[in-house]
C-alpha cells in the first residue's frame, strides 16, 4: 500500500515509498500501440520501483508510426505521421510471461472521431467478448490468437478491469501490462495514487496469476524473449511472429495479411493522381491555345 501522506510533495512521496522520481526522462523502450506510435516523445514525472516491476509516468508526443511486414517475398513498410500531439498518463507493470499483443480499448474515453489509441489498428482484429463486456471495452487481438486472448482475459479478470479501469485503456505487449489515461496524470493527487495502487494490487496481481503458465504452442523449444523469465513448466517464454504485434491499418487494409491488395490500392491512387494531372494539364493547354487563336 502506497503512503500518500507526503503529497502534494511528489519528491517526498517518492522517497517515502521507495520510488525513483524523474521530472523528465526519454521515452522508455517499450512496445505497443501507444509507445511505438508517438514520435519525438518524452516522459515527465516518471516514477519507477526499485525492482523494475512498476512504473508510472506521463508520455507526450506526435502521433505517427510504422510497421514492417514480410509476405510473399515482399517486405512492406507502412508508415504515417501527423501534426497531432497527444499526452497520456500510463501505469506499467511487468509480467512473468511473454504474451500476444492485446489491446482493450475502453469505450468511455474515446475521442470525438474515434479511439484514443494512437495506433491505427487494422480491420479484422476485433474479438467479441461474452456478456456485457463489449459495452465497456473493444478487444483487439492478432488473427489466430483469439483463443489465447480469451484465456488471458478470462471473465473474472475482465470483471476486475471493468470495476477498476473502466475509463482507462489496457494493453498487453511482450511481457508488460499497460494502463493508459488519455489525459496526463496529476501525480500530486493522493486519490490518483490510491487508484493506481489498487489497480496494481488487484488487476496486476490477478493478471500475473492468470498468465503465469501461458505458453504459445506455435513456438518451438529454445526460443526466448530478452528480459522475460522462464516458465516453471519449461515452456518457451516467447510468442510466435504473428502474435507479437497487432497489424497496423493502412487505407482500410491489413498489410500483413493482404499485401497485394495494398499494392493495388497504392497503385490505383498513383494512377488516379496522374490521370487528374493529365486532365487538368489538357484543359489548361486547350484554354491557352484557344486564347492565342482568338488573339490572332
Residue 249 lies in a domain: no
Predicted local distance difference test score (pLDDT) of residue 130: 81
- Mean pLDDT along residues 28-51: 95
Residue 238 exposure: Cα atoms within 13 Å on the Cβ side: 13
Q: How far is CA 247 from CA 101, 103, 122, 124, 126, in A?
A: 10, 12, 6, 10, 12
Is 93:176 a contact under the CB 8 Å cutoff? yes
Count of domains for the chain: 2
> In this structure, are 143 and 280 located in the same domain?
no
Residue 24 lies in a domain: yes
- Mean pLDDT along residues 30-43: 94
> In this structure, are 228 and 269 located in the same domain?
no
Q: What domain range is 169 assigned to?
A: 10-243
pLDDT band at 30 (very low <50, low <70, confident <90, very high): very high
> In this structure, are 181 and 50 located in the same domain?
yes
Is the pLDDT at 93 greater than 50, yes or no?
yes
> In this structure, are 190 and 46 located in the same domain?
yes
Residue 113 lies in a domain: yes
Question: How do residues 62-76 score in pLDDT, each as one tens digit?
Answer: 999 887 766 666 777
> In this structure, are 18 and 97 located in the same domain?
yes
Mean pLDDT of the chain: 85
Predicted local distance difference test score (pLDDT) of residue 220: 77
Q: For the CA atoms of the chain, what is the radius of gyration?
A: 24
Predicted local distance difference test score (pLDDT) of residue 40: 95
- H/E element, 279: helix 259-295
pTM comes to: 0.80
Is the pLDDT at 26 greater than 70, yes or no?
yes
Residue 250 lies in a domain: no
Question: How do residues 236-269 score in pLDDT, each as one tens digit?
Answer: 899 999 999 999 886 443 434 444 444 544 556 5
Predicted local distance difference test score (pLDDT) of residue 16: 97
- H/E element, 4: none
Is the pLDDT at 185 greater than 50, yes or no?
yes
Predicted local distance difference test score (pLDDT) of residue 113: 63
For strands 54-71 and 169-181, give the pairing: unpaired
pLDDT band at 272 (very low <50, low <70, confident <90, very high): low
**Residue-by-residue DSSP string for 45-109:** EEEEETTSSEEEEEEEEEEEEEEEEEETTEEEEEEEEEEEEEEEEEEEEEEEEEEEEEEEEESTT
- Mean pLDDT along residues 170-186: 97
- Mean pLDDT along residues 133-137: 93
Residue 5 lies in a domain: no
* Ranges 5-14, 255-264, 268-277, most confident: 5-14
Residue 252 lies in a domain: no
Burial 201-235 (b: 16+ CB within 10 A, else e): eebbebbbebbeebbbebbeeeeebeebeebeeeb
Residue 2 lies in a domain: no
Predicted local distance difference test score (pLDDT) of residue 273: 67
| Cell numbers 511486414: residue | 69
Is 210:152 a contact under the CB 8 Å cutoff? yes
Instruction: Compute φ and ψ for 133, nearest 5 degrees.
Output: -60, -30
> In this structure, are 274 and 208 located in the same domain?
no
> In this structure, are 87 and 44 located in the same domain?
yes
> In this structure, are 206 and 281 located in the same domain?
no
Is the pLDDT at 203 greater than 80, yes or no?
yes
Question: How do residues 46-63 score in pLDDT, each as one tens digit?
Answer: 999 999 899 999 999 999
> In this structure, are 47 and 170 located in the same domain?
yes
> In this structure, are 34 and 151 located in the same domain?
yes
Distance of alpha carbon 182 from alpha carbon 250, whole angstroms: 23
Q: H/E/C letters for each residue in 184-222? A: CCCCCCHHHHHHHHHHHHHHHHHHHHHHCCCCCCCCCCC
Contacts of 71 (CB under 8 A, 6+ apart): 256, 257, 259
Cis preceding-peptide flag for 58 (omega within 30 of 0): no
> In this structure, are 167 and 230 located in the same domain?
yes
* Ranges 91-105, 112-126, 217-231, most confident: 91-105
Predicted local distance difference test score (pLDDT) of residue 253: 38
Predicted local distance difference test score (pLDDT) of residue 153: 95
> In this structure, are 199 and 233 located in the same domain?
yes
Predicted local distance difference test score (pLDDT) of residue 275: 65
pLDDT band at 35 (very low <50, low <70, confident <90, very high): very high
Strand, helix or coil for residue 12: helix
Residue 117 lies in a domain: yes
Q: How far is CA 98 from CA 81, 113, 151, 198, 238, in A?
A: 29, 33, 14, 24, 5
Amino acid at each position: 500500500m502506497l503512503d500518500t501522506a507526503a503529497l502534494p510533495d511528489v519528491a517526498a512521496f517518492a522517497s517515502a515509498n521507495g520510488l525513483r522520481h524523474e521530472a523528465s526522462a526519454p521515452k522508455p523502450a517499450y512496445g505497443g500501440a501507444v509507445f511505438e506510435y508517438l514520435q519525438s516523445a518524452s516522459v515527465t514525472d516518471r516514477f519507477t520501483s526499485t525492482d523494475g516491476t512498476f512504473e508510472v509516468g506521463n508520455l507526450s508526443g506526435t502521433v505517427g508510426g510504422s510497421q514492417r511486414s514480410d509476405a510473399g517475398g515482399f517486405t512492406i513498410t507502412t508508415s504515417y505521421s501527423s501534426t497531432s500531439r497527444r499526452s497520456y498518463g500510463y501505469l506499467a507493470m511487468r509480467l512473468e510471461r511473454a504474451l500476444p499483443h492485446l489491446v482493450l480499448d475502453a469505450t468511455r474515453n474515446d475521442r470525438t472521431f474515434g479511439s484514443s489509441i494512437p495506433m491505427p489498428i487494422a480491420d479484422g482484429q476485433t474479438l467479441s467478448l461474452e456478456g456485457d463486456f463489449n459495452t465497456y471495452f473493444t478487444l483487439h487481438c492478432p488473427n489466430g490468437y483469439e483463443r489465447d486472448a480469451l484465456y488471458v482475459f478470462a471473465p473474472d479478470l475482465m470483471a476486475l478491469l471493468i470495476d477498476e479501469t473502466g475509463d482507462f485503456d489496457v494493453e498487453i505487449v511482450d511481457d508488460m501490462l499497460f494502463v493508459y489515461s488519455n489525459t496526463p496524470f496529476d501525480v500530486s493527487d493522493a486519490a490518483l495514487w490510491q487508484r493506481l495502487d489498487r489497480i496494481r494490487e488487484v488487476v496486476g496481481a490477478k493478471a500475473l496469476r492468470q498468465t503465469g503458465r501461458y505458453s504459445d504452442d506455435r513456438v518451438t523449444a529454445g526460443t526466448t524473449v530478452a528480459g522475460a523469465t522462464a516458465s516453471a513448466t519449461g515452456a518457451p517464454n516467447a510468442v510466435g511472429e504473428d502474435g507479437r504485434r497487432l497489424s497496423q491499418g493502412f487505407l482500410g487494409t491489413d498489410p500483413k495479411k493482404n499485401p497485394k491488395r495494398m499494392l493495388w490500392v497504392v497503385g490505383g491512387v498513383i494512377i488516379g493522381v496522374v490521370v487528374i494531372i493529365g486532365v487538368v494539364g489538357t484543359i489548361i493547354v486547350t484554354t491557352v491555345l484557344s486564347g492565342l487563336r482568338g488573339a490572332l
